[in-house]
């Protein structure tokens, strides 16, 4: 955010392609609730900007003609020919934040520059907004909004699920996706910690120590001991300074909502996602504040009572230099922290401690998601066993196939070396890069399309930092210094942007790389040398910053030698108008708090990042050449119910459907049926007739159980090299 002031004049960012709707001031509750129908836009000019409903955005076209991408041109009639291949959703950069944690560095935010996102005035509302985004995705799960009508296959949360590598922040994300009660507050009774936890020194006065459930932090002016706490927005009493630009406070025009910070600590219930969910790690999930490897001192700071609270020099009269040194010093010790506190007690405030604020390792991050009730461990159960063994359990990259013909590859791009000012960007270590190459090779052999997900987009793979810059876990106490390097494999040479794009270009079956990190909506074509193929880089904005959107993706085979990727932006399900300023927060719903979070975020532009992007970064159809081989591809579909029953001495018929899902017709095709047993016999099925693209026929295989047979058997049917095995139960 830096030194940006609350917006004095705002203008609509929406560019309309021709689809118009009635403009109103209500919520987004009607169907279908996407930006195809209506958008959220600024409402006039004010010292504190408000929002209203604006016109929707139709799909724009991006292809070789419009983009110069060179790897696919839209053909007339594709909407009548096309066949739907997959529909999925993406959330990214949720940044669920324990805003009361002592490990926060809000005091750096007024310095701007690299620290502009050290604090957000609406971060306490983040968990509530995440819940209303899950609500919106659930509303859209039953059918794609672009006319395909297909159910959503899966939803990816593509990193920075937490803000500061803390256990409680990661746990909230799992509860959000799986459903249940989320308690976004933190802090416990400090009595047992004073004098026993090294960073809860005797004599430290604990703010709200008798009421740990209350909010304690920079957004409560009453928690300040010294200085002028004008920079941080307190919804109970916004700083009464301005509009003189020399005043330190950018929040002089912000509304009051009494009790909002305390209300934002109260538990609420998430419904959970209605579709399979997959998770990957971002830099804020694997590094302290997304930059530094987690030392034992950082870990003890997180679970202790000493919260750095002071902000800029001109705001309080106390230099923030010592606190800056705290952040950038990887060799800081607990004793050094205590010395800093004793020399500058006014730099800190005492807060209720909480052991659930502990920083967690990469292994623990995975375990949080694997220990819930998701049958896939939110994807981490799919990590290749050989990679797990070789990495001593640290590998967190995996792949899965939501539908035949599509492979989704999920990467870990965290720069684990944790070099401050470099490791917020990403890289791919050498072993993972080799695994990625193997995945692309397998997909090409299987004639599968590939979509890659990572937290960092290709353009942000710039951290030339080996993992070994963090110490080996054999050299430190790995239970406390959880950011140590536990992978025995060498990480070098780490792979960066050019390496990743070159690899993708070697395998044209890889059609898209989808990420977050930049907090911007942005779509770029990456054309391979020669211009015959390429892939699309898709970046999606953060749920932590404006415009607080998710993205839907539809993949189509146009049946003319091209593919279409449609992306559709989605706003969360909170109403657009906030509760009236001055409304007590005690009676507010989750949706009310989410509405406030959205509007506050609009006014806090994080240094003018322009997260909404341009129109052709949002609702877009991207056309590219279909890289798949043109051979006919037959898929076999089992009967319903999938297990066939037959009496001993009797016959039964197994009906199997065969579909040509390739891109050319077939001739007559031989069918082979086998049981592998002498007590279950099969007849000779007829050949399949010629099938046009998309055509389906049925194979009928007769099975006969020999008299006296009993138990479980099976029949395997093979067509054109593809097989399906159907269980058969023989009853007497």
- Write out pLDDT tens, residues 8-39: 222 333 323 233 333 333 334 445 679 999 99
* Predicted pLDDT of residue 237: 82
CATH 3.60.21.10 holds for 38-202+269-340+354-625: yes
pLDDT exceeds cutoff 90 at 484: yes
Contact 554, 87 (CB under 8 A): yes
* Predicted pLDDT of residue 31: 59
pLDDT exceeds cutoff 80 at 322: no
When pLDDT is cut at 50, 70 and 90, the band that residue 111 belongs to is low
Mean predicted confidence (pLDDT) in 355-363:
97
* Predicted pLDDT of residue 258: 96
Q: How far is 286 from 412, CA to CA, in rounded Å?
A: 10
* Predicted pLDDT of residue 320: 59
Q: What is the DSSP string of 513-578?
A: EEE-SS-S-EEEEEEPTTSS-EEEEEE---SSSTT-EEEEEEEEE-SSSEEEEEEEEEE-SS-SSP
Question: Residue 459: which residues within 8 A CB-CB, separation 6 or more?
Answer: 497, 518, 524, 537
Q: What is the overall mean pLDDT for the chain?
A: 88
* Predicted pLDDT of residue 29: 40
Q: What's the start-to-end Cα distance of the chain, in Å?
A: 75
Q: How far is 102 from 297, CA to CA, in rounded Å?
A: 12
Mean predicted confidence (pLDDT) in 281-305:
95
Host H or E run for residue 453: strand 449-453
CA atoms within 13 A on the CB side of 245: 5
* Predicted pLDDT of residue 117: 79
Contact 288, 198 (CB under 8 A): no
When pLDDT is cut at 50, 70 and 90, the band that residue 249 belongs to is low
Mean predicted confidence (pLDDT) in 530-543:
94
Mean predicted confidence (pLDDT) in 585-609:
87
Q: How far is 167 from 158, CA to CA, in rounded Å?
A: 18
Mean predicted confidence (pLDDT) in 660-681:
86
* Predicted pLDDT of residue 378: 98
When pLDDT is cut at 50, 70 and 90, the band that residue 472 belongs to is very high
Q: How far is 557 from 626, CA to CA, in rounded Å?
A: 8
pLDDT exceeds cutoff 60 at 608: no
Mean predicted confidence (pLDDT) in 318-324:
64
Q: How far is 31 from 570, CA to CA, in rounded Å?
A: 12
What residues does CATH 3.60.21.10 cover in the chain?
38-202+269-340+354-625
* Predicted pLDDT of residue 6: 32
Fold of 634-731: Immunoglobulin-like (2.60.40)
Q: What is the DSSP string of 690-717?
A: P--TT-EEEEEEEEEEPTT--EEEEEEE
When pLDDT is cut at 50, 70 and 90, the band that residue 225 belongs to is low
Q: How far is 290 from 416, CA to CA, in rounded Å?
A: 10
* Predicted pLDDT of residue 18: 30
Give residue-wise pLDDT tens across range 166-221: 999 999 999 999 999 999 999 999 999 999 999 999 999 999 999 999 999 989 88
Q: Is the peptide bond before 440 cis (omega within 30 degrees of 0)?
A: no
Q: How far is 140 from 120, CA to CA, in rounded Å?
A: 29
Give residue-wise pLDDT tens across range 123-181: 999 999 999 999 999 999 999 988 778 999 999 999 999 999 999 999 999 999 999 99
Contact 523, 617 (CB under 8 A): yes
Q: What percent of the chain has pLDDT over 70?
A: 90
What residues does CATH 2.60.40.10 cover in the chain?
634-731
* Predicted pLDDT of residue 574: 96
Q: How far is 291 from 302, CA to CA, in rounded Å?
A: 15
Instruction: List strand residue ranges (DSSP E) for 326-448, in order.
Output: 348-350, 398-403, 406-410
Q: How far is 111 from 312, CA to CA, in rounded Å?
A: 7
When pLDDT is cut at 50, 70 and 90, the band that residue 311 belongs to is low
Coil, strand, or helix at residue 441? Answer: helix
Give the residue with greater pLDDT, 138 vs 337: 138
When pLDDT is cut at 50, 70 and 90, the band that residue 605 belongs to is low
Give the residue with greater pLDDT, 624 vs 309: 624
CA dihedral sign of residues 283, 544, 269, 134: negative
Q: What angle do CA 152, 154, 155 make, to 5 degrees?
A: 110
* Predicted pLDDT of residue 107: 82
When pLDDT is cut at 50, 70 and 90, the band that residue 7 belongs to is very low
328 exposure class (CB count in 10 Å sphere: 0-12, 13-18, 19+) = exposed
| CA-closest candidate to residue 458, choices 518, 537, 523, 527 | 537
pLDDT exceeds cutoff 50 at 630: yes
Contact 58, 17 (CB under 8 A): yes
* Predicted pLDDT of residue 242: 52
* Predicted pLDDT of residue 329: 75
Q: How far is 47 from 243, CA to CA, in rounded Å?
A: 9
Beta bridge partners of 499: none
* Predicted pLDDT of residue 553: 98
* Predicted pLDDT of residue 230: 67
Mean predicted confidence (pLDDT) in 231-240:
79
pLDDT exceeds cutoff 50 at 443: yes
Give residue-wise pLDDT tens across range 41-77: 998 777 788 999 999 999 999 998 888 777 999 999 9
Mean pLDDT check: name the lowest of 127-131, 285-289, 464-468, 628-632.
628-632
* Predicted pLDDT of residue 544: 94
Q: Report the 3 state secondary structure along 483-519.
A: CCECCCCCCCCCECHHHHHHHHHHCCCEEEEEECCCC
When pLDDT is cut at 50, 70 and 90, the band that residue 244 belongs to is low
């Amino acid at each position: 955010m830096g030194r940006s002031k609350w917006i004095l004049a705002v203008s609509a960012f929406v560019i309309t392609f021709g689809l118009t709707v009635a403009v109103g001031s209500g919520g987004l509750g009607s169907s279908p609730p996407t930006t195809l129908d209506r958008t959220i836009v600024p409402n006039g000019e004010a010292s504190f900007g408000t929002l209203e409903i604006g016109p929707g955005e139709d799909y724009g076209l991006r292809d070789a003609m419009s983009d110069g991408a060179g790897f696919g041109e839209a053909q007339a009639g594709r909407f009548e020919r096309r066949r739907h291949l997959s529909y999925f959703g993406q959330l990214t950069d949720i940044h669920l934040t324990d805003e009361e944690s002592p490990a926060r560095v809000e005091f750096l935010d007024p310095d701007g520059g690299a620290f502009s996102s050290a604090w957000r005035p609406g971060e306490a509302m983040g968990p509530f907004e995440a819940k209303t985004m899950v609500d919106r995705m659930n509303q859209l799960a039953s059918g794609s909004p672009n006319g395909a009508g297909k159910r959503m296959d899966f939803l990816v949360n593509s990193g920075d699920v937490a803000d500061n590598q803390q256990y409680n922040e990661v746990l909230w994300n799992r509860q959000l996706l799986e459903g249940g009660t989320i308690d976004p507050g933190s802090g416990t009774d400090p009595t047992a910690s004073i004098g026993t936890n090294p960073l809860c020194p005797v004599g430290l006065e604990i703010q709200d120590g008798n009421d740990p459930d209350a909010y304690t932090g920079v957004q409560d002016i009453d928690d300040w001991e010294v200085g002028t706490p004008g920079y941080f927005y307190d919804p109970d009493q916004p700083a009464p300074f301005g509009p003189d630009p020399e005043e330190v406070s950018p929040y002089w025009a912000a509304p009051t909502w009494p009790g909002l910070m305390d209300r934002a600590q109260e538990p609420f219930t998430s419904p959970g996602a209605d579709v399979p969910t997959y998770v990957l790690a971002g830099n804020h999930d694997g590094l302290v504040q997304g930059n530094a490897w987690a030392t034992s001192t950082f870990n003890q700071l997180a679970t202790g009572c000493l919260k750095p609270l002071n902000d800029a020099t001109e705001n309080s009269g106390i230099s923030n230099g010592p606190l800056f040194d705290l952040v950038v010093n990887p060799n800081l010790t607990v004793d050094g922290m205590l010395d800093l506190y004793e020399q500058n007690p006014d730099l800190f405030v005492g807060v209720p401690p909480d052991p659930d604020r502990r920083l967690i390792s990469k292994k623990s991050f995975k375990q949080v998601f694997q220990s819930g009730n998701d049958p896939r461990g939110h994807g981490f159960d799919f990590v290749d066993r050989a990679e797990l063994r070789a990495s001593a359990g640290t590998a967190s990259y995996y792949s899965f196939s939501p539908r035949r013909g599509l492979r989704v590859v999920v990467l870990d791009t965290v720069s684990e070396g944790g070099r401050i000012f470099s490791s917020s960007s990403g890289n791919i270590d050498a072993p993972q890069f080799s695994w990625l190459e193997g995945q692309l090779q397998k997909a090409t052999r299987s004639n599968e399309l590939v979509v890659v997900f990572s937290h960092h987009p290709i353009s942000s793979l710039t951290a030339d930092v080996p993992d070994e810059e963090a110490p080996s876990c054999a050299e430190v106490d790995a239970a406390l210094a959880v950011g140590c390097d536990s992978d025995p494999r060498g990480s070098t040479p780490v792979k960066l942007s050019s390496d990743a794009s070159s690899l993708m270009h070697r395998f044209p079956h890889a059609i898209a790389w989808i990420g977050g990190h930049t907090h911007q909506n942005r779509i770029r074509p990456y054309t391979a040398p020669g211009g015959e193929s390429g892939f699309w880089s898709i970046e999606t904005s953060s749920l932590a910053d404006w415009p607080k959107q998710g993205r839907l993706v539809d993949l189509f085979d146009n049946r003319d030698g091209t593919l279409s990727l449609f992306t559709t932006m989605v706003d969360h399900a909170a109403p657009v108008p906030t509760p009236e300023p001055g409304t007590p927060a005690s009676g507010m719903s989750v949706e009310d708090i989410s509405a406030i979070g959205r509007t506050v975020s609009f006014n806090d532009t994080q240094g003018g990042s322009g997260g909404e992007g341009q129109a052709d970064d949002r609702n877009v159809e991207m056309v590219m050449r279909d890289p798949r081989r043109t051979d006919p591809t037959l898929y076999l579909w089992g009967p319903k119910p999938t297990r066939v029953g037959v009496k001993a001495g009797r016959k039964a018929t197994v009906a199997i459907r065969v579909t040509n899902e390739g891109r050319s017709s077939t001739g007559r095709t031989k069918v082979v049926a086998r049981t592998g047993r002498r007590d279950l016999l099969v007849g000779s099925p007829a050949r399949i007739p010629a099938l046009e693209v998309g055509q389906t026929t049925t194979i009928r295989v007769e099975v006969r159980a020999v008299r006296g047979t009993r138990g479980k058997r099976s029949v395997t049917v093979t067509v054109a090299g593809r097989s399906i095995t159907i269980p058969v139960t023989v009853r007497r």
